[in-house]
Structure 1
């Protein structure tokens, strides 16, 4: 597995919380890359009790322009796990939304670099928190190159699900036009009050899993504190990993089959 992009339709469905929960609980070495053009939240939230230097996405993009992405990348990371150093890492995001315009030409090359991290030793998966599609500057090249685009939907009422309908339509059009088809698109539900099959039927995308509304764990991930590792949110995130890996494997197999069919 390589690059997973998490995105929301609008509002606050818990995309950053979901991405952070997965990063802290998945078995594979994982980098959480805060790619939200509106700015990153983890430094000021979950890591608010620490003095985190001004490192992260923007300095990495500057290094990319000089052709030094690989050498600079380790210097821009924050280790999230003192018990397993180097296993769960954070690439902090922008500190000012104004900075997003300077990244417009770098998203595609950064996405290629993120994808390459599964081939190094040690290998890493990258979870890219891409924020809301309603921003004026979504990181589309990164979404186009992702092995999985995971739309995070707060499914507590029809009102919270309805914004996902146009979001799915836009994502499907973008991925079909500029990427390798819409097979990379799936959803994860937060606080679901509806059966996953019902949401799948309405949106016409597979639902890979459901995350509970775990107020305490979400509060820690949003504002800082200590986790026990036994929280319902983290347990659900662990379960999500296997389904995500199966979806990525199926998508890659379908791509290879399509390429071979065209060659034949």
Structure 2
């Protein structure tokens, strides 16, 4: 894998919880990058019991402006797993939406750097938590570079599903006009409601790759910290079971794009 971006529509939270659950349960080496322009929440939530210096996306963006990404990156990470050091890492996000203006000019460089992480030794996949699209200034270069772009939708009520229709249409349009097409777009569904998975897929015209159950106790720990996680909890088991489908979707998309990319590269250069 390379870059997996997670976003949600207005009124449908759950991106950070989904991203954390996948990061903590998947087998591959993973960096969870908090790229939400509205601000990150892992330091103030899941990791709130730790004293962590001001590191993360903001100093990394400053390093990008100085062309020092590679030298700075490792110093901006927090290790999430004491039992497997260096296996599950988090790049904390900004703590004030005002800081998003500093990050904006560096998204192209950051996206390219994240894409290259899987080819390093050791290699890493990146799960980018980009928050809600309603922020007004999503990190589009990162969304366009994604191998997989997951629209996270809570399915309990029509109020949480309806905004996803417009979000899906916008993402398809933007990926078609500026990215590599809408083939990277899929759904991550959270919870249960009166609508079947097939009904939601038909309404949004997207396939589902991740389904997570309602697991309030685990979700509360991932959101607010202060508790102990076990691998057999429902939310983490469901996230872990989604990894093969995610990897297969990325592999199939890359195989589909490879001939086009090769022709485009030779023609452009």
What is residue 31 of structure 1 aligned with on the other side? 31
TM-score, normalised via structure 2 length? 0.95
Gaps of 5+ in 2: none
Alignment RMSD: 1.4
Shift in Å, 1:153: 0.3
Change (3 A) 1:166 1:12: closer
Mean CA deviation greater in 21-30 or 193-202: 193-202
Secondary structure in structure 2 of the residue aligned to 1:163? helix
Secondary structure in structure 1 of the residue aligned to 2:113? helix
Residues 90-143 of structure 1: CA distance to partner in whole angstroms, max 9, x if unpaired?
Answer: 000001100001111111110110010000011100000000100121111110
Q: Give yes or no for contact 1:192–1:210 (8 Å, CA) kept in 2.
A: no
CA distance in 2, matches of 1:29, 1:57: 19
What is residue 191 of structure 1 aligned with on the other side? 191
Shift in Å, 1:258: 3.2
CA distance in 1, matches of 2:220, 2:13: 14
Q: Give yes or no for contact 2:11–2:159 (8 Å, CA) kept in 1.
A: no
Is residue 2:213 matched to residue 1:209?
no
Change (3 A) 1:58 1:261: closer
Change (3 A) 1:174 1:227: same
What is residue 231 of structure 2 aligned with on the other side? 229
Residues 50-82 of structure 1: CA distance to partner in whole angstroms, max 9, x if unpaired?
Answer: 001100000000011111101100000000000
What is residue 114 of structure 2 aligned with on the other side? 114
Is residue 2:233 matched to residue 1:241?
no
CA distance in 2, matches of 1:78, 1:179: 31
Shift in Å, 1:261: 7.0
CA distance in 2, matches of 1:110, 1:103: 9
Secondary structure in structure 1 of the residue aligned to 2:105? coil
Q: Give yes or no for contact 1:13–1:190 (8 Å, CA) kept in 2.
A: no
Gaps of 5+ in 1: none
What is residue 103 of structure 2 aligned with on the other side? 103
CA distance in 1, matches of 2:263, 2:30: 34
Q: Give yes or no for contact 1:4–1:127 (8 Å, CA) kept in 2.
A: yes
CA distance in 2, matches of 1:3, 1:260: 20
Structure-to-structure mapping, 1:152-167, within 5 angstroms: 152-167=152-167
TM-score, normalised via structure 1 length? 0.97
Structure-to-structure mapping, 1:163-178, within 5 angstroms: 163-178=163-178
Aligned pairs, number: 264
Q: Give yes or no for contact 2:176–2:182 (8 Å, CA) kept in 1.
A: yes
Residues 5-55 of structure 1: CA distance to partner in whole angstroms, max 9, x if unpaired?
Answer: 000011242110000000000000000000000000000000010001100
